[in-house]
Amino acid sequence: MAHMGLLRRATPSSTRGRLLLVGGGLLLVVVALALLALPFRHAPAAAEAARADLQTAKAALEAGDVEGAEQAITSARSHADEVQGAVQGVGGHVWSWVPVAGGPVRDVRRLGNALDDLTSVAEVGVGLVSRVNSDRSTLVDDGNVDLEVLATVIDDVDRVDVLVKRASAELDDVAEARLVAGDRLGEARNEVVEQMQPLVDGLATAQPLLAELPLMLGSQADRQYLVALLNPSELRYSGGTPLTFTTMDLSQGQLSMGDVVDTSTAPGTAQAIYWKKVKGNPFHRGRLKVLTSTMAPDWRVSGNELANAWRSLRGRRLAGVVVIDVPALADLVALTGPINVPTLGTITPDTLVETLVGSYDEYDDPAQRKEINRALAPLFSERLLSGDPLDTAKVLARAADERRFAVYLRAPEEQAVFSDLGLTGELGDARRDYIGVFTQNRVPSKSDYWQRRAVRSEVDVRKDGSAHVRLAVQIHNDSPPYVRGGVDPQLGYFTRWNFSSVLTMLPEGAEFTGGTIDGQPFAVRRGNFYDQTFQRQSLEFAPQARRELVVEYDVPAAATVEADGSLAYGLTIDPQAIVNPQAVEVRVRFPQGYAPGALPAGWTPSGPRGVTYRTDALETTEVFEVIARP
């Protein structure tokens, strides 16, 4: 058959010919790939140069050198473009499809894309800093906010968010390890992701706030906020008593301040009046004074009560309330230097607290003292809208952690944003173990200035995660001798006596089992503050008196029982914003057969199954977890 000839066996010479053709073709491909790979040799050096430029820009911005940052970012852009030109061209595309070697090439291209996006982030970011936080900034002028500039800032932040998400997506696709490249590219990816995390966290914080800010500044409707200055020498459970007030009115970003008033200049502030009670607040009973509206230890409740009280007094619904105490105000003053106060002259941040809340003996006329307080109230708004906004934000965030500064906002969306920022003065998580000790002045006096407090908690954790707790509160009225002549009246500006209501807030579901005052048993009066149990006792303190309140209780879930049988003991400790922060000691003992593992900062072992936490000054809310394994 004729077609059989087509099936003849290949001769050795024809096979060699085909092999030569195939080999020649492969050689041409290898040579072509080698030529296409030549640009990759320059990519690592350019990428390293771009990274160094971006680090230089970051350092320049932190030093306030915007021009230096701009120059470094311009250089970074040049190097980033060089990287992209090397890895994203025809050569990079072809190499990315080569078996085995293509994987690392694809990862290099992804890293190049991420570098390009992050350089764009820096370009947008330096413009943001220039608009918000430099001598060129026009965002805030004489306390007024330019809403058009703010809109540009918001757009830029949104653009940065898009770029960061795009860079993150590229980095997510970079493999941990490749056959040819090993784990070098994965390690480079991990380093970039770690360096990006503060930016990612910052965007998560900034974007929700920026979304609400125009409305808060009166872009759609005028807003009025009450600013209250708190005096920690006369305590409420929430912190210092609000004694001086002013209002901030905002319309289209334009700020105007109301008159500064206090109990002597604002009619009705010292009188018991009626206002709508915050639902579920056990500390609001009947008519109250504006000065006693903030008894609840959580500012979400006390801020709401103060806003309701002010509306009842003045007839206008507030958009929100801002409270700040004198020590926090001193920290704000430290950002801009000494201040001049009528009748006092120049006051430095170091002397502000002692001068304003600890020197009542130096003023025979209370009206003179109130005049000084009224002069201080506008300082908050002045410092808030002047100077470095980033430094101001850091000071206020620290003050909020210390429960010396808090914001309450009527609009739920705005309140939620500030809650996420930790600025609303809410109590800490009480689902496991919790310590919250708060005192309140029962008579008008300034004796809390001398209060010194030590709290000791002894915790016996059981195998099921429950615990028995013995909480001891020791209070010392460390007041100096009475110097006014005659008999101490035991109230008012100059008394050395202290009449306190001591409130202990307990974990969720806790049940009292007993208590003593100075060693004598007393009947515990239990109350509920939403999900938490509390008790309070009234104690009288003569000058230099020391007294001890002890409460014992069972906690249903002080520790969670993990799948491997270990016990994860959780503790939150909330401070009260007092002049002298309280000392705290916590001793935890786990069941027989359990051994604590690695300990959080501030904790030390105490015996084979015990741990101890100590601080001489609890200034901020602390959250801990200690794990013990069988």
Weakest mean pLDDT among 362-366, 379-383, 561-565: 362-366
Q: Indicate which CATH number applies to the domain containing 295.
A: 3.40.630
What's residue 369's pLDDT?
65
| More confident position, 334 or 36 | 334
What's residue 485's pLDDT?
86
In total, how many domains does the chain have? 3
Mean pLDDT, rounded, for 379-408: 85
3-class DSSP state of 347: strand
What's residue 359's pLDDT?
62
| More confident position, 5 or 316 | 316
| Domain match, 439 and 390 both | no
d(CA 144, CA 132): 13
Judged against a pLDDT cut of 60, whether residue 84 lies above it is answered with yes
For 358, phi then psi, to 5°, come to -125, 15
Weakest mean pLDDT among 31-35, 151-155, 445-449, 482-486: 31-35
| Domain match, 414 and 545 both | no
250 Cβ contact list (under 8 Å, min separation 6): 216, 217, 218, 222, 223, 224, 225
Judged against a pLDDT cut of 60, whether residue 60 lies above it is answered with yes
Q: How confident is the model at residue 37 (pLDDT cuts 50, 70, 90)?
A: very low
Instruction: Please measure the distance between the N-terminal and C-terminal CA atoms of the chain and give it in whole angstroms.
Output: 87
Assess if residue 18 is contained within a domain: no
Judged against a pLDDT cut of 80, whether residue 29 lies above it is answered with no
Q: Is the dihedral of CA 487, 491, 492, 497 positive or negative?
A: positive
Judged against a pLDDT cut of 80, whether residue 419 lies above it is answered with yes
Query: pLDDT over 70 for what percent of the chain?
Result: 84
Query: Where does a domain end: 216, 249, 265?
Result: 216
Weakest mean pLDDT among 78-92, 423-437, 561-575, 589-603: 78-92
Buried b (16+ CB within 10 A) or exposed e, 115-128: bbbbbbbbbebbbb
Provide the 10 A C-beta neighbour count for residue 543: 17
Assess if residue 14 is contained within a domain: no
Assess if residue 502 is contained within a domain: yes
Listed as own residue / partner, the contacts of 350-355 with beta carbons closer than 8 Å and 24 or more positions apart are 352/326, 353/326, 353/327, 353/579
Residue among 424, 549, 545, 538 at smallest CA distance from 488: 545
Assess if residue 507 is contained within a domain: yes
Point out which residues pair with 409 in neighbouring strands: 320
| Domain match, 176 and 317 both | no
* For the ranges 139-143, 322-326, 380-384, the one whose mean pLDDT is highest: 322-326
| More confident position, 205 or 297 | 297
Residue among 350, 356, 349 at smallest CA distance from 335: 349
| Domain match, 469 and 409 both | no
What's residue 471's pLDDT?
98
Cα–Cα distances in Å, from 171 out to 121, 204, 627? Answer: 15, 19, 34
What's residue 49's pLDDT?
84
What's residue 173's pLDDT?
81
Q: Indicate which CATH number applies to the domain containing 566.
A: 2.60.40
| Domain match, 258 and 388 both | yes
Weakest mean pLDDT among 2-6, 287-291, 452-456: 2-6
Point out which residues pair with 477 in neighbouring strands: 451
Residue among 196, 111, 112 at smallest CA distance from 161: 196
Query: Where does a domain end: 182, 216, 250?
Result: 216
Mean pLDDT, rounded, for 598-603: 96
Strands (E), 278-356: 320-325, 339-341, 345-347
Assess if residue 1 is contained within a domain: no
| Domain match, 323 and 457 both | no
Judged against a pLDDT cut of 80, whether residue 245 lies above it is answered with yes
For 412, phi then psi, to 5°, come to -60, -40
| Domain match, 101 and 140 both | yes
Assess if residue 253 is contained within a domain: yes
| Domain match, 131 and 116 both | yes
253 Cβ contact list (under 8 Å, min separation 6): 144, 145, 146, 147, 150, 217, 218, 219
Q: How confident is the model at residue 21 (pLDDT cuts 50, 70, 90)?
A: very low
Chain center to CA of 403 = 11
Q: How confident is the model at residue 22 (pLDDT cuts 50, 70, 90)?
A: very low
What's residue 15's pLDDT?
39
| Domain match, 333 and 185 both | no
Q: How confident is the model at residue 26 (pLDDT cuts 50, 70, 90)?
A: very low
d(CA 39, CA 391): 45
Judged against a pLDDT cut of 90, whether residue 212 lies above it is answered with yes
In whole numbers, what is the pLDDT of the chain averaged over residues?
85
What is the 3 state secondary structure string of 132-200? HCCCCCCCEECCEECHHHHHHHHHHHHHHHHHHHHHHHHHHCCCCCECCCECHHHHHHHHHHHHHHHHH
| More confident position, 480 or 9 | 480
What's residue 241's pLDDT?
94
Judged against a pLDDT cut of 90, whether residue 613 lies above it is answered with yes
Weakest mean pLDDT among 55-64, 248-257, 532-541, 574-583: 55-64
Q: Is the dihedral of CA 409, 410, 411, 413 positive or negative?
A: positive
Instruction: Tell me the pLDDT tens digit for each residue of 142-181.
Output: 778 899 999 999 999 999 899 989 988 988 887 776 655 5
Query: pLDDT over 90 for what percent of the chain?
Result: 53
| Domain match, 132 and 247 both | no
CB 87 within 8 A of CB 39: yes
Chain center to CA of 256 = 29
Cα–Cα distances in Å, from 350 out to 337, 345, 355, 588? Answer: 11, 15, 9, 38
Query: Where does a domain end: 394, 420, 446?
Result: 420
Instruction: Tell me the pLDDT tens digit for each residue of 535-585.
Output: 999 999 999 999 999 999 999 999 999 999 999 999 999 999 999 999 999
Weakest mean pLDDT among 88-92, 251-255, 453-457, 513-517: 88-92
| More confident position, 125 or 521 | 521
| Domain match, 108 and 129 both | yes
Q: Considering the entire predicted model, what is its pTM?
A: 0.85
What is the 3 state secondary structure string of 449-483? HHEEEEEEEEEEECCCCCEEEEEEEEEEECCCCCC
What's residue 361's pLDDT?
62
Judged against a pLDDT cut of 60, whether residue 271 lies above it is answered with yes
What's residue 539's pLDDT?
97
Residue among 277, 505, 323 at smallest CA distance from 424: 323
Judged against a pLDDT cut of 60, whether residue 88 lies above it is answered with yes
Length of the chain: 630
Residue among 109, 83, 114 at smallest CA distance from 97: 109
Buried b (16+ CB within 10 A) or exposed e, 461-499: beeebebebbbbbbbbbbbeebeeeeebebebbbbbbbb
What's residue 117's pLDDT?
86
d(CA 328, CA 326): 5
Judged against a pLDDT cut of 50, whether residue 285 lies above it is answered with yes
CB 453 within 8 A of CB 582: yes
Q: Which domain holds residue 161?
A: 24-216
Instruction: Tell me the pLDDT tens digit for each residue of 98-150.
Output: 444 555 667 777 878 888 888 888 888 888 887 777 677 788 877 788 999 99
Assess if residue 306 is contained within a domain: yes
Assess if residue 427 is contained within a domain: no
193 Cβ contact list (under 8 Å, min separation 6): 168, 171
| Domain match, 393 and 468 both | no
